[in-house]
Amino acid sequence: MGQNIMLFTSLIKSAFRVGALRVADHRGAVRLYGDGSPPRCTIRLTKASLEYKLAMNPGLRVPEAYMNGDLLIEDGTLYDFIELAAQNYSSVEAYPLLKIMRMIGLGSKKIRQYNPISVARNNVAHHYDLSEELYSLFLDHDRQYSCAYFNSPDEDLGTAQLNKKRHLASKLLLNKKNLNILDIGSGWGGLGIYLASISSGNITGVTLSTEQHKISNERVSAAGLNKRVKFLLQDYRELPSKFERIVSVGMFEHVGKKNYREYFSKVRDLLTDDGVAVIHSIGRLDTPSAINPFIRNYIFPGADIPALSEIMPFVEQSGLICTDIEILRLHYAETLRHWREAFEKQRHKIATIYDERFCRMWELYLTICEMGFRYENLMVFQIQITKTLDTVPLTRDYMFDWERNQMEREKLNSNEKPV
């Protein structure tokens, strides 16, 4: 047991150099780590076995211990603890034992996901087919479950999510009538309905979530858009049609490295020769690395966070042309902050839908992800893709001009609506 304690102590001492972490073991002995600056936090380990488990695989075992009630936070909050860990992330990554574990394949960045349609459907159901009420309690009114776009830090979440939809639309070049538009991974239908409301396009959305499919089509009927908007419970790989515009938001993270070639080849096949596609996904600013093991095991099975260096070779090999890339920094950190705060306000209701363990698991999920975008080189990219060099204008001015004009149109329409 002494060696286990020494192993855990060595990891904590090596990793926590900024902030102040007090650790109370199962016997009540307390040790202090860090330089004493904020954030400050005290955790208590309730079992002797944790002192070995946490040291061997902290990225997975620490969240599990909190989720199961074996790691208690007695001073400060979960946010303080995760922020403290995130600020010391580089020191944890440099710990010799963890380097050895990665070398022998534990947490390897070379994980290659097997992702046939049946597996993809099960992975989607694990997260997106949860209680309908759950998502209504912490998302905005349009149920946008991806990175918002903040024109200013003080914008509310609903405004920022509308900004995101408008920003994406500006890159789709909606300059023709009756465009056939495909939304891959269409969520609860908000983006597709928005595109239909601002254009004459015909929208097809595909999702593998039965809950999202049901709600999306209910919303279409309520909006009176049945003739132009349809949502299918179908994998994008099964679609036979061609589309002049393709948009995909928050879906590419679920494709998996092994399947990038298949994904971009299918996008090429689905896109008309004069078509435009826009892919919006979480990515890494630094070199390729494995996704957080807790997130992969408990929240998004089969998920992957790519670096652009992993994606672009497959875009090039598919015969597609990358015409624009934009990196969104910190927008997702702010989005997650809004979700986390809303979740906390509704926690008592969510606990009645599920249980205390579920609430702790989702608090971890939202907090870990927020810290990833604040401190650990996560970002969101938007890639615009075409088949020919002259499909889009020579400069990006058309995006900015359209977006500003559309914002003015929306303000005008909003002012004209009766109160």
Higher pLDDT, 136 or 115: 136
Asked if the structure places residue 345 within a domain, the reply is: yes
- Assigned domain for 111 exists: no
Residue-wise pLDDT for 288-300, tens only, equals 888 889 999 999 9
Residues 253 and 385 in one domain: yes
The residue out of 60, 81, 103 marking a domain boundary is 103
Domain that holds residue 405: 117-416
User: Is 21 part of a structural domain of the chain?
Assistant: yes
Domain boundary among 53, 78, 103: 103
- Do 90 and 134 fall into the same domain? no
Instruction: Specify the DSSP element, H or E, that contains 206.
Output: strand 202-207
Q: How many domains would you assign to the chain?
A: 2
- The reply to whether 83 and 158 lie within a common domain is no
Do 317 and 282 reside in the same domain of the chain?
A: yes
Does 167 reside within a domain? yes
Last residue of a domain, one of 103, 131, 166: 103
Q: How confident is the model at residue 106 (pLDDT cuts 50, 70, 90)?
A: very low
Residue 108: inside a domain: no
Instruction: Please report the pLDDT score of residue 93 as a whole number.
Output: 54
Q: Which residue has 């303080």 as its token pair?
A: 80
In a domain, 110, yes or no: no
Whether residue 109 is contained in a domain is answered as no
CATH number at residue 270: 3.40.50.150
Mean pLDDT of 264-274: 98
Give the pLDDT confidence score for residue 36 in this predicted structure. 87
Whether 193 and 281 share a structural domain: yes
* Same domain membership, residue 80 and residue 55: yes
Whole-number percent of the chain with pLDDT over 70: 89
Catalytic residues: 369
CATH of the domain at 74: 3.30.1050
Place of tokens 């889009």: 392
349/401 same-domain check: yes
Same domain, 201 and 138: yes
